[in-house]
Amino acid sequence: MIAVSDLGKSYGPQTLFEGVSIQFNPGNRYGLVGANGSGKSTFLRILAGEEPPSAGTVAIPKRLRLGVLRQDHFRYEQVPILEVAMMGHAEVWRAITEKEELLARAGESFDADRYAELEELILRHDGYTLEARAGEVLEGLGIPTEVHRRPLATLSGGFKLRVLLGQVLAAGPDALLLDEPTNHLDIVSIRWLEKFLADYRGLAVVISHDHRFLDNVCTHIADVDYDAITIYPGNYTAFEEAKAAERERRGKEIAQREKQIADHQAFVDRFRYKASKARQAQSRVRMIEKMAAGLEPLPQSSRRYPRFVFKQTRPSGKEVLAIEGLAKSYGSNRVLDGVALTLRRGDRMAILGPNGIGKSTLLKIAAGVVPADAGKVEWGYEARPGYFAQDHREQLGADSRQTVEANLWETCPGEPIGFVRAQLGAVLFSGDDVEKQLRSLSGGEAARLLFAKLAVEKPNVLLLDEPTNHLDLEAIEALVEGLASYDGTLVFVSHDRWFVSRLASRILELTPAGINDYHGTYEEYLEACGDDHLDAEAVLDKARREKRRQKAAAKRSAGGDGAGAGGSDDRNRIRDLTARRDRLTAEIDKTEARIGEINETFCDPTYFDRASPKEVGKLEAEQKKLAARVEELMAEWEEVETEIEELAGAGVA
């Protein structure tokens, strides 16, 4: 449990929140929401002890282990990826490394008591499964097993942040504090994270701008608004409904009270100077004063909704874009190969797929930002594309001293300053904001400026690469509204399922096996092809089964194990495989029993007094060897079981 009492935070004259007294309970998952700049990340840092409050206290039990998502991957550049993830459980990791150091120095001196303490600590925290847990989490986050032993520096920035997320999750903390954990994740990894959090038994506080993620994960919403933090039960959709209903109710109460005051005031004005009514009028005056004193205006929300209006100057021809035989490589990495598609006027196409598959590259080639290695890209009659880059700082000029106002005016030099100011005001640049230099803009501000430029340019085709990155929930909702009203052709890359489901009428999914081009909504696509392709666990399990199936088939083919022979040979094969499976099961049981005996030996504090360092090291080596043997036996057992299932499924009795 984390309890906050009378908490406040201010920066000079700016108050983020004050008088906050709330409690976060185990088993609940809280979505922390609010406008950009409202204090969400600041509040999370206060809970984590990384920043002091201006007032109030945070009470956290001493033994509660916090898991905090940080972005300090520079500390681990030369550390193997798997070890970075294991370091999340600092106590166990220190014990494992210290134990290995003790064994390495055993020839010189050996501290048996300390070794026993470390062994007991590792066993108490189930530390011998930490490596397996970390590997499973990394795989779920889209980092394949074959790279786990490589240094962190070999990964791109986005995947490094995935490893840091894995570091937090694999540690199994009592409480999770996650600031934008879905950033840099693709749809499959987001789905995996949702399932992980749904099964998580501790308390979690999560900041996210992903509607669907908040709906699928959260049991409560902590809303940062009106200089306060209020907890609502339910997911994000339930919160929106409850907050709107509460504000409507309060508005009606205020209106009713104001009407009562107005009625009393009318009576006073009418009879103030009549002697027979003077006493009543004076009584009404006191009543008005009392009612007015208790009348508080409806507070102003910190949430602001921009207004995005996209129009086309004139429509394009019916065939907007034709792509044939498109190929692109970066060094030895071939990201696109033989891509072919036709885009028609009015299409609203979402491009989906895992990170690194070539989605952004496809959009860049279509926009003319990067050249293709092979193939043709032909825009149709009167097609005028407008492009929004994922790296919009590069698109604007990150180091530019140019102001927001000057940058937009360049796009429409023939328009008066009033027109430019009106366009900027619609996307929440007002007052001195228009004089901000481009290099000082936040990610959300830069994105809003680019959308203003697209609104002024009026293209009839919009190419948007991850348009919701850096936008808050209010801006995302406004963008959906603006794009839904756009009468041109829309192509976009996004990992935000809510955003995709609200806009797409065609799905182009890029996969390692090729392209799935489906004409229909996102929900229709999922219904047509099943949801498994967006389920990381199902995808991984399917890949493992296919790998085992191919291996088993190759063995049968090489060994002449009845492949292509009659039913009698297949029945004999099933009988042999069943016997082999039983032998493997027995050996696994025997090996695991021996591992259990070694663990019990290590738990005996007198053992290290009796045993020599050489004997301890020998038993430690046996334990590791047996653990590796169990993994081998389990893999072999799964291969045998898969082959039995396939033969049985083929109708072999």
If you search the block for the tokens 């984390």, which residue do you land on? 2
CA 257 to chain centre: 45
Greatest extent of the chain over all pairs of C-alpha atoms, in Å: 118
pLDDT digits (tens, 9 = 90+) for 597-629: 887 787 666 776 677 777 777 887 788 788 778
pTM: predicted TM-score of the whole model, two decimal places: 0.74
What CATH fold (topology level) applies to the domain 319-522? Rossmann fold (3.40.50)
Q: Which residues contact 53 (CB under 8 A, 6 or more apart)?
A: 7, 8, 9, 46
Calculate what percentage of the chain has a pLDDT beyond 90.
38
Contacts of 534 (CB under 8 A, 6+ apart): 187, 188, 191, 526
- pLDDT > 70 fraction of the chain, expressed in percent and rounded: 91
Beta strands in 555-618 (DSSP E): none
Average confidence (pLDDT) over 524-532: 75
What 3 state SS string does 403-435 have?
EHHHHHHHHCCCCCHHHHHHHHHHCCCCHHHHH
- Cα–Cα separations (whole angstroms), residue 525 to 344, 350, 364, 436: 19, 11, 25, 43
Using an 8 Å Cβ cutoff, are 173 and 202 in contact? Answer: yes
- Using one digit for the tens of pLDDT, what is the confidence trace for 532-569? 555 545 555 555 555 555 555 655 555 554 444 455 66
- Domain 1-64+174-234 is classified in which CATH homologous superfamily? P-loop containing nucleotide triphosphate hydrolases (3.40.50.300)
Distance CA 402, CA 420 (A): 15
Give residue 99's Cα distance to chain centre: 36
Phi-psi region of 19 (alpha: psi -120 to 50; beta: other; left: phi over 0): left
Do the domains 1-64+174-234 and 319-522 sit in the same CATH topology, yes or no? yes
Measured CA to CA, the distance from residue 43 to residue 41 in angstroms comes to 5
- The tens digit of pLDDT for each residue in 186-233 reads 888 888 899 899 889 999 999 999 999 999 999 999 999 888 899 999
CA 386 – CA 74 distance, rounded (Å): 36
Where would I find the H helices in 152-271? Answer: 157-170, 187-199, 211-217, 236-271
DSSP reduced 3-state for 194? helix
CA dihedral 105, 107, 109, 110 (to 10 degrees): 80
Q: What is the DSSP letter of 184?
A: T
pLDDT tens for each residue of 152-175: 988 887 888 899 999 999 888 999
- DSSP, res 299: P
CA dihedral 498, 499, 502, 507 (to 10 degrees): -100
CA distance 640 to 636: 6
User: Domain residues of the chain, as ranges?
Assistant: 1-64+174-234, 241-293, 319-522, 537-649
